[in-house]
Amino acid sequence: MDAHSRQLLYHLPYLRRYARALTADAVRGDDLVAEALPIALADPGTFGLETPSRLKLYGLLNGLCDADAPQPADLGGRHPMEMALAGLPELERRLFLLVSLEELTVSEAGSVLGLDMAGAEAAMTRAQSGLGSALTARIMIVEDDAIIAFDLEETVQRMGHIVCGTAANTQMALATAAEQQPTLALMDLRLAGGDSGITTAQILRRQSALPIIFVTAFGDELSRRGLDHLGPVIRKPFSRIDIERAITQAVFTPSGEFPSDALTKAAAKSP
């Protein structure tokens, strides 16, 4: 194996990773890399095989992707980050992938895409803003203890998400959900007036696929009743990192796949 082939072999895992993200499809991404390899080997100077840099190889993959004019990827059931990325303008999407996935500097990523430094920085700012908006959850807090509700509200807002309403009992929760259309709920099991968080959650889940995270001192009640499927449990007293992890898991999990057993079990071990 000659030096150029060895260099290309070293780059191969990174090229596959980028190509799969670029095309949003593992098979198409691998096909793209297979198409690029002989082109790069035929002209190693042009495609940077005489240096450790992969910048020109990333440029080659972009050019081949554009030339192939592939069919749009089916994003059904995909990770929310993939779906959010798909909503970005293509230049911003590629720039974000090169910086965040391939760990290029903004300047390097801009050079791959033909942007000067100012243009690359502006595009990266737009990409980050767009992704932030797409991945911002609207969270309803169902908790009858005002101090705990305030603590949860602060945690949610600090994460950059929106508290779309608070409720202390079932009636308030259902009214808030109908009016505000939350994308996630944090819910106690014991609510004001003797209302049940479990009953409230069951009604909400019948009406929509609203993900629910239970924040309660009665962490075993769902398991005893065979209702683990309703959502993961964070035990009181909780730490903010417990809540942040659970919210992040919910936001980054495709609809219909929440909650995860792993999160439920991990949360149940919290002190």
pLDDT of amino acid 33: 96
Helices (H), 52-187: 55-68, 80-86, 90-96, 106-112, 117-134, 146-158, 170-180
- Containing 140, the helix (H) or strand (E) segment is strand 138-142
Angle at 255 between CA 156 and CA 72, to 5 degrees: 115
pLDDT of amino acid 134: 80
145 neighbors 188 (Cβ within 8 angstroms)? yes
Cα separation, 253 vs 268, whole angstroms: 19
2 burial via Cβ count (<10 Å: 0-12, 13-18, 19+): exposed
Q: Which domains does the chain have, with CATH numbers?
A: 1-73 (1.20.140.160), 84-135 (1.10.10.10), 138-268 (3.40.50.2300)
190 neighbors 218 (Cβ within 8 angstroms)? yes
pLDDT of amino acid 254: 62
Secondary structure of residue 186 in the 3-state scheme: strand
HSE-CB at 18 with a 13 A cutoff on CA atoms is 31
Q: Enumerate the β-bridge partners of residue 166.
A: 141
- Give the rounded percent of residues in the chain with a pLDDT score beyond 90: 65
User: What letter would DSSP give residue 154?
Assistant: H
**pLDDT per residue as tens, the chain (271 positions):** 789 999 999 999 999 999 999 998 889 999 999 999 999 999 999 999 988 999 999 999 999 999 876 555 565 556 677 788 888 999 999 999 999 999 999 999 999 999 999 999 999 999 999 888 888 889 999 999 999 999 999 999 999 899 999 999 999 999 999 999 999 999 999 999 999 999 999 999 888 888 999 999 998 899 899 998 899 999 998 998 999 988 888 877 765 554 444 333 333 333 3
Q: What is the mean pLDDT of the chain?
A: 88
Query: What tens digit of pLDDT does each residue of 146-190 get?
Result: 999 999 999 999 998 999 999 999 999 999 999 999 999 999 999
pLDDT of amino acid 57: 97
Residue of 80, 69, 82, 70 lying closest to 27 (CA atoms): 70
219 neighbors 211 (Cβ within 8 angstroms)? no
Query: What tens digit of pLDDT does each residue of 125-149 get?
Result: 999 998 888 888 899 999 999 999 9
Helices (H), the chain: 3-23, 26-42, 55-68, 80-86, 90-96, 106-112, 117-134, 146-158, 170-180, 197-207, 221-224, 240-251, 261-268
pLDDT of amino acid 217: 92
What is the model's pTM? 0.67
